[in-house]
Structure 1
């Protein structure tokens, strides 16, 4: 009778199972990881050779049914779990293992070996665990992390050096990424837009530049991100109210395959350069004015000579009983002609630097004249007051220059009083002793003190300190040359005097001019009355290419008692000198037709007749003419001139006539 229980395995089947297990064990032994299987009672069920070799476990543990706690006790006994009670450490680990939970952790053995332990529970209870030696990987990772750390530190140091360099470069430097967004900016660039090098990072260009400026910059940024280098200029008003000018260059940051990653920004403050360019342009314009004014002065003075000469002729007729009221109308004409001549000289002095003509001038009259001129030029909201404490003060000055200085100061005062105010011109005497004069950089003595005072906005200390600096101006860019006060300073300095300014913000300005002075009555004619004849028919050769001018001067010479030959051509005049021995003197214009000049003509005359007196007339002296005139020692009569001035010049040259 057969039994229902499972038959016992035969010897053949047992041998087959052992063979399969041997094959499985051989396979597990060739795995480069440790391997173990513990059953539900935490007894060893399977393992491989790698487990015992990797963990240096004794081989007596390599037996089926070996409890897990024996493994823990061996390992703890070697101190691999750290200090403490061995049984306590074993018990704690058994409790954790009995939970049959997945686990993964790394354990560093005392020899530095790093073992990755990973376990997972089995369906019928127990768990399978793998042990991996990750020492090499962890060392490689640690080396990699150290390398990254060192490179990060080097990069940070490099960035610090870059920051140090860029912050000390006198330029604005930045880097823009796509957006465009700021990725870097040196201190100067960040400060330019009111940021710090930290606060500007990550902000868009539109946010930093602002809604007013960014639309002007956006096309340049777009072109730079398209891969093109761009240069441009822009202006921006600073918080101080000053308009600053900047020149920027954008350089694309491109990869080898042509992609644009961002752009570098280099900006330079060109405000001073713009001012210098404007000053140079102004100087060039003034040079052009000077060249133009030379020709205009010659023609204008010829016209004034005609006006003056004919007016003087009419004044001689006015002495007749039949025309008693004619002189009343002629005096204003003469005065207007004199003012026109002064205006021409002033234009030449400013535009070409010609030296002015100095004379002894009654300052009270000059100040009164300036007051009259200003009353018609300044707004009605500006009241003009003139105070003259000493009417006898006189100074040796170029009246036109000093008038120009006072008018310049008055116009500055007008600009400082846009809503009106009071302009005061004062004249008084100052006697400076040695100490007072030394403090002002002057010589001791009598001075005329001219004050120009206003009730305008005044100046702060910084403006007052730079008031006389060339090209310094507080006016809007392009509306002031910055040459007004320096010109006034130069005019006063040429007289041997001094100038200073007192001013406070919102308290008006007082400009004090000190001119070396004398006092006393001075007899001076106005040049209008006709002098007595100084010659009795002596023959004079008059040379002038302007027919009308020649006729006026001929009449003036005839009124002085001379007989006159007139020539409009230098070559014809030379022939007359050769042929007419009775010619006693020659009066010639400096500007002659063709290539011949008056000075060359005078030299030729001297070679023909060294004893012949020569005087020259000038409506405008060319640059360099002064040296030539000194070499031939010819007096020069500046047009327009009065009959008295002509008489004085003719008397001078005839007095030196060796015959």
Structure 2
């Protein structure tokens, strides 16, 4: 029986010797019961200890004496370890031997006392772990340095840079971006976009952001008030951050301050506009000569009369004179509006109306040998554009066409709509969809291939030096692109030129497009004998306006200057209203007089009138005027409406 048990133990011992860890079993008396060869090879114990019955203290003493537990009281170190062993508790610890070897010791108690302990050489594992930790630390430090460099670079680039994750939520913003929206760099990261840019601006930008998250590169412009109250124009580009399988992880944001460029563009536009005005004035002078001929002819006819005319005959003389004055006033107002221009102000505009307005300006400016034709497919075709810029573009194109037809020909302006499929849209660089098309065609000399390639370049011109800036077509091209469209050019030598302006289509309702419907004119709003003070230094103008006022049912007192007007306004309690010219001789202008009267006579209705387009600059005042202003000459209905407005507010 003993031999069989010994054989079993020897077999178990042989099996334990093949384990790549050290192994030991101590009984309740802390004497060695079992072990393997790996324990002795790993810990280098004396071979005489490798027998059953060896007490744990012998192993501890060997370790203590060779410095495994460090310097100090050897007996104390042994006793403390024996006391802990007698508790028979689970334990795990790692011990670094003097030779640098790291041993992981794991002990598990046995049910009847004693414990099983395994010993693992984890030296290589710990070295690999330390190396990995050092590598991670070095790479973290390098990454931090890279991030610092990236932050340094992005913060010093003169641009606003950010990264938006889905949400949209900001993950990154450079210093300029954060400063622009009044935040710190740290406060931007992790915040939703509406909180950073503001709810109102986000509503404007949201469609562009959504389009970018769909995987599209997007460019757009927006404007925002600076802290000093000035307006800044920003030009932004959104680039999607996409995976290989087409998912959008986020979008990169790049914004540039385009304010100076906008001002430069506005100056160039104004330069082109004034160049066009110079060309228009010759034709307008011809129109005015015709209008004056109508007026003078009828006036001379009336002056030669020896017998009074009946009402019908008088109307036949007066009607063309009135129409001539209205047309002259309309021409002046159009020329002034065209020459002044406005800041870029996109709005939904019926394109037929813009073409008609440009056509009226061009009627007298094209030589008789050129025929102007306009074809409007649908009055409801509209686009979101700046109407003044659009009118300027058509004028420039018309003058280019005129110059290309020195012997005469036909200039056609055609308005239509079209649906571009993917292939057609890609050819001209637009998204597929519906577009408004304005075709400007001439039967002139056409262009050679070299000119066609360069025609939209700034400062490129085929005209004689000093007769053209070369900015006309480039400005038209820039304006159309800025409005979301493009230009397609077709031209051949000897076969004329055609340009098609594509603009994103807006379709107006029938009621909105039909502005020219002829409605019955409402009856004039007449006065009831109210006493008005007219302040006008020109006697002829004063007489004419007095007649208009009296015809409308008002009583009138006239004053030639501010001093007389001031005395009458302050001394006549029965006075109900004041109508004053703005630009008058002397130190006081009409606006200052009106404000002075208003302070002492708040019961008076006050309106102003002027024949100047930029009266605010001439009067030395800002453009904010609290009184209605009539532009001379004005019709009876305009005068009647204004008087009713100022008098009804004081009743």
* TM superposition score category, shorter chain reference: 0.3 to 0.5
Structure 2 length-normalised TM: 0.48
| Greater RCO (Cα-Cα under 8 Å, separation 6 or more) | 1
TM-score of the superposition, structure 1-length normalised? 0.47
